[in-house]
Structure 1
Amino acid sequence: MIPKDQENKIVKRSFKVPRRYIFYGLSVLYLIGDIYWFDGPLKSRIDNRLKDDRVDAQELAIREEIVATVNAHPIRRYDLDRATQEYCRKNGISMGEISRSRANAIRLLVLDQLVIDRLIWFHSHHYPVKLSEDEMNDALIRFRRGFHSSEEFEKETSLQGFSVSRIDNFLRNQFMQRAWIEKTLEKHIVVSEEEIKARYESDIFISMMPERVNLRHIFLATLDQDPEQVFERVQSIYIKLKEGQSFDEMAMKFSEDSRSKHEGGDLGWLTRERVPKDFYDKVSNIMIGKISTPFKTSLGWHIVHVIDRIGSSKASLDLIYDEIHATIETEKRQVAVEALINHIKSKAKIRYTGQFTWIE
């Protein structure tokens, strides 16, 4: 039994706060007051240090010509310029012939795609999907088959300013990124048989086979070329065709469409949806077995030989089952890719320097 007076002493002693805790508390209050309430000397030093860091980052961006960083990986002016040139080349756009506002809009679009590419690269290397060496080599061989010979591949590579080894490394990275995307999305793009049947029944247009035309062509590009010289060349080719020269041989010799020239210009069966409107509008007026006069589209000059044509017709489910499957899968893939991009963007540290983006 503890005496009453001793119990009171123990209770009083238990509520006594050590002096060091009081000192610690006052120090914390001082720091909070300095930084958040009074703009004291400590806050001034922190602000100056942050300002110096911002100045250093800006100077670095200018010195290294950095347009943006993605998780600390830089995108430089050179990357943006080259990607913009490639975008314009693929879309038949000449930067010298468009307004400055449109040119800047294109650069912003390309920059956004570069950011997405870096994010996908980042994730595919940090969470890689294992690919065998045989898979890699098969993919490289399939790519090179788009060229007539190794010499042509090396020549085209050199014209683009790359070495063969650099192209191979680039393609390997592309395959790894594609494999990572497929692995990430695979559970979101499963298509059931019920979905296919429902789409066939509900979509009256999908069961209609559109008009198709089987053709081959000779193509001469006009981008960055002298228009008069291109016109003279295409007219010369057309005259030789009228004189009885083989279309296949002329296509293999003169066509600038690398995908079809080695096949005698054969484009296979095409529908209106698969080709530019200005091209199909011309093709639709050419009779079966006839060779067109040269005509110009947004991409360049064409001479077309129409081999056959099939009108639109109702198709059975069995006939277009795979096509409906591919359509639904593509729709799901598009939604899944957009969701994936938005997700990885929201988690990434993306910084735009404001330098070298615009054409002044």
Structure 2
Amino acid sequence: MRCSRWTRSRKMRRSFFSLMMVLACAPQESPSETPKAPETAGSATVVGTVDGQQITAAELQNRVDAQVAQFRVAGRKVTATFEQNTRRAIFQFLVDQELVAQEGQRQGLAITDEELDQAIATFKDRFGSPAGFVKYLKTIQRTETEWREDHRSRLLRDRVLNKMVGEMVVEDKEVRAHFDKQPDRFLEKEQVRAAQILIPFEGATGPHGRLKAPHSATAISKETKAKTLKEALRIKAKASRPGVGFGQLARTEGKDHRAAAGGDLGWFPRGRQPKSVEDAIFAAKKDQVVGPIKSQFGYHILKLIDRRPEGKKSFEDVQQELHDELLRRKRGRARRGALSTLRAKAKIDIFDTSLKPNESQPTLPSVKKRP
């Protein structure tokens, strides 16, 4: 298999900033020497080194600019203090990224092009279309080539740290204790499982049948409403015939992204669906077909598949979920410990005094992005 030479990534997708926020408020290892003034290497200003590998001011500032822009797009207030904390946290991320890369080289670990291609294909599928991925790249201010190397870096980070921490084990008694400590967490409201056939108003769905933002009722003409209702009544008549499978009908007649799954909406409590849809399906009897029900998206034909009364999930219902949750926590602590070990062994020089670790700086707020 082909294997590309690993080069230090310039930015990472949202996973890098999730880690960065943790680093922003966590105690850090001290640099090996007293901070100095920034140095220069050729035409580049060097703000720090990790065992001799340079981190440049340009690389750092590019990342900071992109991250601050994302905060502003999200409506966050960006103060000078906030930007400096962001800059310091991103610098610490770059240090850790270099430490992981060097450890990967020592252990002979790398991400092959084939592995990278497979991981990227899976990631892109989550956007539904090439245009969605292009929009994502614009949001994070990265070219596809840059982002590809970012992704390689993330995969390498996982591989190196997972090898360092080894296998994590969560005992059954730990899971049980975790369940017993939070008795109110698993209380559930009444839920229903339903399927639908949606006949949307024109323009209510985007690529792959994904619903767009709710339509204004006044924006839909009487002619459009009448045409859509006529089609809905036709399909409702078919759905009401004996022996007709609702799921198969949803696959052939449904116009939203759930049609391919037989219109299955899964389990949901009140408050998850448009009010008109919710009222109709919660009032229905098991296996009853109701509708057409008008919402801001169009007309819905609904079938109640099952109903779950209000109650509490049993330990057996949530055992796997809690096990996985505890495993993630345990692995996260171990990975943070592994990073601390790498920092302690490395010679880290910081030439820009404003980047010196600040143990008291606050956690930076997150920006939620797709996917």
Relative to the length of structure 1, the TM-score reads: 0.52
Q: Aligned partners of 1:102 and 1:79: how far apart in 2?
A: 19
How far apart in 2 are the matches of 1:105 and 1:195? 37
Aligned ranges 1:247-266 → 2 under 5 Å: none
Distance (whole Å) between structure 1 residues aligned to residue 189 and residue 45 of structure 2: 50
CA distance in 2, matches of 1:72, 1:150: 40
Deviations 1:32-68 (A, max 9, x none): xxxxxxxxxxxxxxxxxxxxxx99x844269512222
| Residue of structure 2 aligned with 1:345, choices 314, 335, 343 | 343
**Contact 1:209/1:314, CA 8 A, preserved across alignment:** yes
Contact 2:188/2:310, CA 8 A, preserved across alignment = yes
Distance 1:100 1:92, change over 3 A: closer
Q: Does 1:184 align with 2:164?
A: yes
Shift of 1:185: 2.3
The answer to whether 1:136 aligns with 2:122 is: no
Please show how residues 17-96 of structure 1 align to structure 2 within 5 Å: 58-60=38-40, 63-91=43-71
Residue number in structure 2 paired with 1:124:
104
Unaligned runs of 5+ in 1: 1-53, 219-233, 247-261, 272-282, 291-302
Task: Give me the CA root mean square deviation.
Answer: 5.0
Could you say which residue in structure 2 is the equivalent of 1:6?
none
Partner residue, 1:114? 94
2:84 matched residue in structure 1: 104
Aligned pair in 2 of structure 1 residues 117, 110: CA closer, same or farther (>3 Å)? same
CA-to-aligned-CA distance 1:201-232 (integer Å, 9 cap, x gap): 34324443589999xxx9xxxxxxxxxxxxxx
| Structure 1 residues 90-125: Cα deviation after superposition (integer angstroms, max 9, x where no partner) | 545679953322221222222222222222222223
Structure 2 alignment gaps of length 5 or more: 1-34, 194-203, 205-212, 229-255, 259-264, 279-295, 357-371
- In the alignment, which of 169, 172, 195 is matched to residue 149 of structure 2? 169
The alignment status of 1:196 with 2:184, answered yes or no, reads: no
Higher relative contact order, structure no. (Cα contacts within 8 Å, ≥ 6 residues apart): 2
**Aligned residue type for 2:183:** I
Residue of structure 2 in register with 1:10 after alignment: none
Q: Specify the alignment match of 1:333 in structure 2.
A: 331
Give aligned pairs, total.
250
Flag the structure with higher helix content: 1
User: Is 1:145 aligned with 2:129?
Assistant: no
* Identity value in percent: 16
Aligned-pair CA distance for 1:351: 1.5
The residue that corresponds to 2:367 in the other structure is none
* Per-residue deviation, 1:134: 4.8
**1:86 offset after TM fit, Å?**
3.8
Q: Which amino acid aligns with 2:347?
A: K
- Offset of 1:324 from its aligned partner? 0.5
> What is the DSSP-based 3-state SS (H/G/I as helix, E as strand, rest coil) of the residue aligned with 1:104?
helix
Does structure 2 conserve the Cα–Cα contact (< 8 Å) formed by 1:213 and 1:310? yes
The residue type equivalent to 1:204 in the other structure is P
Tell me the SS of whatever aligns to 1:65. strand
Is the CA contact 2:50–2:348 (under 8 Å) kept in the aligned structure 1?
yes
In structure 2, the residue corresponding to 1:98 is in which secondary structure? coil
**C-alpha distance in structure 2 between counterparts of 1:130 and 1:325, whole Å:** 30
In the alignment, is the contact (CA less than 8 A) between 1:124 and 1:180 conserved in 2? yes
Higher mean alpha-carbon deviation, 59-68 vs 155-164, is at 155-164
Partner SS, residue 333 of structure 2: helix
How far apart are residue 350 of structure 1 and its match? 1.5
Letter of the structure 1 residue corresponding to residue 87 of structure 2: R
Pairwise mapping of residues 170-249 of structure 1 onto structure 2 (< 5 A)?
A: 170-187=150-167, 189-209=168-188, 239-240=218-219
Go from structure 1 to structure 2 and tell me whether the alpha carbon gap of 1:129 and 1:203 turns closer, same or farther (over 3 Å shift): farther
CA distance 1:130–1:190, shift in 2 (3 Å)? farther
Residues 1-54 of structure 1: CA deviation (Å, up to 9, x unaligned):
xxxxxxxxxxxxxxxxxxxxxxxxxxxxxxxxxxxxxxxxxxxxxxxxxxxxx9
Q: Is the 8 A contact 2:71 2:78 kept in 1?
A: no
Q: Match of 1:354? A: 352
8 A Cα contact 1:61 1:353, kept in partner: no
Measure, in 2, the Cα distance between the counterparts of 1:87 and 1:145.
24
Task: Spell out, residue by residue over 1:112-163, the C-alpha distance to the aligned partner (whole angstroms, 9 max, x if none).
Answer: 2222222222222332446666543321210221334446545765786655
